[in-house]
Amino acid sequence: MSDVGGLFEPAFLKQLDRLVLLTRRSTVGQMQGERRSPRRGSSIEYADFKPYTAGDDFRQIDWNLYARLEKFFLKLFVAEEEITLHLLIDSSASMDWGEPNKLRYAAQLAGAMGYIALGGLDRARVQAFGGNATRLPAQRGRAGVVPLFRFLSQLQGQGPTNLVDACQRYVQTTRVAGPLLLCTDLLTPDWEEALRTLSRRPFEITLMHILAPDELNPPLEGDLKLLDVEGGDGVDVSADLDLLQRYVERLYAWRQEVETFCNARGINYIFVETTLPLDTLLVSVLRERQLLR
């Protein structure tokens, strides 16, 4: 399949075809997919038996078992159900920054995960939040790849980060839970409340904390005025070695704070620098975290 919007090279898509989306929780979908669930259903592989009672479907009687025990038992089958992968992308102005660009990286990550889900006949839906919130309704199967890639390739970063509002709306308007990937730089003071909001629903939340190299080690020197791309007053600084060292230490402490907060709530926290190759993130990091196999 050829890429749409220039997100990936065809060879990379072939790599994605070998990966499978994993979920730790039982899910209830609207159609049967390739996902096995402990819920008893009517797929081709049976998992258990139960005694026959009046009103049961006699077509499910195991006649071989009857021949041995002279009692009627029904086969209980393993249900194969689809899941819905929820992709939330921070498209605020602060994300459209850095080299490599954070928003571009988030779009590619979401595209790769969505492609893997759709390839497994699961569903994928996207919600972008920023100055101009947009969404892609749930897509299913390979036919959804083109709309997914087109949507992600057209994302533009603008406006402030409305993380709490975005999470509240998503929780209120989403009927089916499932794995949820939140891609953001988390540069908002209300990130704790936003994550608490998402945790009120049985999502399997993975926070992809995306930062650019210059945010980790700013190449600053001398007297400067720093401007917030999302608005607000500028800040005058004198960038010397002491200031930059304190910045790095506080940034690291903040990342540790976020990770501790997430661990306490069962949220999978993954820090990503945009220089990390996407294939390394998928094949090594996400497989190690058991999000993919």
Q: What is the DSSP secondary-structure string of 260-283?
A: HHHHTTT-EEEEEETTS-HHHIII
Give pLDDT, residue 233.
81
The predicted model gives 261-271 an average pLDDT of 97
Number of H helices, E strands in the chain: 10, 10
The answer to whether residue 202 scores a pLDDT higher than 60 is yes
Residues 6+ apart with CB under 8 A from 115: 13, 16, 145, 148, 149
What does the pLDDT look like over 19-42, one tens digit per residue? Answer: 999 986 543 444 444 554 444 444
The answer to whether residue 282 scores a pLDDT higher than 90 is yes
This prediction's pTM: 0.82
What does the pLDDT look like over 43-81, one tens digit per residue? Answer: 445 545 667 676 666 677 878 877 888 888 766 554 456
The answer to whether residue 279 scores a pLDDT higher than 80 is yes
Distance CA 59, CA 62 (A): 9
Distance CA 85, CA 203 (A): 10
The predicted model gives 163-191 an average pLDDT of 95
What does the pLDDT look like over 112-169, one tens digit per residue? Answer: 999 999 998 899 999 999 877 899 999 998 999 999 999 999 999 999 988 999 999 9
Please report which confidence band the pLDDT of residue 230 belongs to, taking 50, 70 and 90 as the band edges.
confident
Give pLDDT, residue 31.
43
Backbone angles phi, psi at 42, to 5 degrees: -140, 45
Give pLDDT, residue 29.
43
Give pLDDT, residue 67.
82
Backbone angles phi, psi at 222, to 5 degrees: 90, -170
For a pLDDT cut of 90, what percent of the chain falls above it? 69
Q: Is 138 helix (H, G, I), strand (E, B) or coil?
A: strand
| Comparison of pLDDT for 233 and 127, the residue scoring more | 127
The predicted model gives 270-277 an average pLDDT of 98
Taking all residues of the chain, what is their mean pLDDT, rounded to a whole number?
87
DSSP states of 194-255: HHHHHHTTT-EEEEEEEE-HHHHS----EEEEE--TTSS--EEEEE-HHHHHHHHHHHHHHH
Euclidean distance between the first and the last CA atom of the chain, given in angstroms as a whole number: 21
Walk me through the domains of the chain, giving residue ranges and CATH numbers.
Answer: 10-25+83-288 (3.40.50.410), 35-81 (no CATH)
